[in-house]
Amino acid sequence: MSDPILDVRNLTIDFRQGASASRAVRGVTFTVGRGETVALVGESGSGKSVTALSTVSLLPEAAEIGGSVRYEGQEMVGAAEAELRGIRGNDISFIFQEPMTSLNPLHTLEKQIAESLALHQGLTGQAARDRIIELLNRVGIRDPESRLGAYPHQLSGGQRQRVMIAMALANDPKLLIADEPTTALDVTIQAQILELLAELKRDLGMSLLFITHDLGIVRRIADRVCVMKDGLIVEQGKTATIFDDPRHPYTQKLLAAEPAGTPKPVPAGAREIVSTDALRVWFPIQRGLMRRTVGHVKAVNAASVQVRSGETLGIVGESGSGKTTLALAVLRLISSQGPVVFMGRNIQGLKSRELRGVRREMQVVFQDPYGSLSPRMTVEQIVSEGLAVHGIARGERRRLVADILQEVGLDPRMMDRYPHEFSGGQRQRIAIARAMILRPKLVVLDEPTSALDMTVQVQIVELLRRLQADHGLAYLFISHDLKVVRALSHKVIVMKQGDVVETGDAEDLFRNPRHEYTRELMRAAFGQTPGNAA
């Protein structure tokens, strides 16, 4: 057996703060063979990413690295900066989770890829342009010549991630490190990116170190798995062995952490909370000095929905399909055409002042528990903000905050803390508490679990089910994660490019999808033909 391309031995990483230090990685040992895919798996804070970044000393100055990291026999820990620069981007390349933050929004795709080619290979001019077109073709960007002048915001999420892969491949690396490269992508795009990485690895003979918290992805792509917890590798082995016979309790917990079951049945005679009839959201395309309307972007086209008390309507589809736009129109946060009937009253024509009383009964929980909470406000201030708007006395507000925090599984004594003092799952519970404290009738849940670890996802799904059963809540649940949709929804509508292409009872739709687009989503999510996805 040949020597591994990457050999990590007894790796330790400490982050120093003044006189004290915290240990993020504790004695990690693993190898990556030539042409092999190794997955580092674990929840947020387990040490996966810092372990990967340490391979070429990309950690901040406060980090102290111990142990050994050898790339093709060359020691990387303590290596001179000139040696590291020769390996970074040449022999070892990175793909990161969020391409929008990794790409420069002010530079075209051609300029960003050309910069790497000039720096590492000395390619400029037409030679660089030809190489860029070749790379974009390789990663599946259609008509790459027409895309060279495009900026990152002009591409979809999947296209941006393909560009990041093209940049990583620009210098023919021997080892590609992919840090959660599919987490923010739709299921169909995720499947395409995984297939692309596997194909490139096979064609180019690369090794791949793949970092993720999603074990479903690991099963598809990895030869071996290393499971990390609290800075340690608690179990490692061949992928099939880890999945079929996990030994460590934490590995068993991760494998069991998949949303399962179904919501409680909708009570007989449940009241209809909200309904729409052929709801339409068209955004005008205006051109010329007179800003004349020359066409429309048909974001939502004739969508009819009905949701009762205690019922969840799942809305699924890829990015740009109109899911969130539909929900915002139901909440009257954007303009639309067609009736929106809430609690028996058509609210479509109401003015802002008239809507104020309605707003208390319609709440939203957003995707990102980090971005949706103000870092300058305490938990009490965040959760009670809606109460203040609706005139609830301050003394009463603190009591209500304590009650709702307890209901969502948080200690009321934490209400004077700030968001940065909580984990991702705890922050999402705070966001849910903020929505629930006004005792709404309708809650829009916009990708509320996609930014969370698998075990935390399960906890949030169970919490949402319990709150719905206790309070008869109607949910509009927006997600591209079909496993979570299945666990929460009574009914599902499938959207594509603004159109509702399929709708029906959740279990019926999952067992027997009729539209080809729905089948495509099922295959991408479950890795099986729709009839076997049950």
Return the pLDDT at 533. 45
Report yes or no: 367 and 361 within 8 Å, Cβ to Cβ: no
pLDDT at residue 19, as a whole number: 73
* Cβ neighbours for 499, distance < 8 A, ≥ 6 positions apart: 301, 302, 322
- pTM, whole model, 2 decimals? 0.81
Angle between helices 394-407 and 424-436 (to 10 degrees): 130
Question: Buried (b) or exposed (e) across 379-410, using 16+ Cβ within 10 A?
Answer: bbbbbbebbeeeeeeeeebbebbbebbebbbb
Residue 529 is predicted with a pLDDT of 45
What whole-number distance in Å separates Cα of residue 300 and Cα of residue 155? 21
Distance CA(324)–CA(315), nearest Å, equals: 9
Per the CB < 8 A criterion, the answer to whether 231 and 46 are in contact is yes
pLDDT in the model for residue 528: 57
What are the pLDDT tens digits along the chain (534 aa)?
578 999 999 999 998 877 777 889 999 999 999 999 999 999 888 999 899 999 888 888 888 999 999 999 999 999 998 898 889 878 999 988 776 677 888 999 999 999 888 887 888 899 999 999 999 988 888 888 988 998 888 887 778 888 888 888 888 899 999 988 887 677 888 888 888 888 888 888 999 999 998 888 898 899 999 999 999 999 999 999 999 999 999 999 999 888 888 899 999 999 999 999 999 999 887 787 777 877 778 889 999 999 999 999 999 998 778 898 999 999 999 999 999 999 999 999 898 888 988 988 999 998 777 778 898 999 999 999 888 887 777 778 999 999 999 999 999 999 999 988 887 888 899 999 999 999 999 999 998 887 788 888 899 999 999 999 999 999 999 988 888 999 999 999 999 989 999 999 999 999 999 999 999 999 888 865 444 444
In CATH terms, the fold of domain 273-361+442-532 is Rossmann fold (3.40.50)
Phi and psi dihedrals of 522, rounded to 5?
Answer: -65, -45
Contacts of 201 (CB under 8 A, 6+ apart): 35, 37, 176, 207, 208
Domain ranges of the chain: 273-361+442-532, 375-439
Q: What is the pLDDT of residue 184?
A: 66
CA 92 – CA 196 distance, rounded (Å): 18
Q: Which residues pair with 26 in a beta bridge?
A: 12
In angstroms, the CA 90 to CA 164 distance is 15
Query: Is 148 exposed, middle or buried, given 0-12, 13-18 or 19+ CB atoms closer than 10 A?
Result: middle
Q: 37 near 239, Cβ under 8 Å?
A: no
515 contacts 503 by C-beta, under 8 angstroms? no
Cα(206)–Cα(204) distance, rounded to whole angstroms?
Answer: 5
Closest CA to 210 of 221, 195, 196: 221
Per-residue pLDDT, 370 = 72
What is the sign, positive or negative, of the torsion defined by CA atoms of 413, 419, 422, 427?
A: positive
* 3-class DSSP string for 317-367: CCCCCCHHHHHHHHCCCCCCECCEEECCEECCCCCHHHHHHHHCCEEEECC
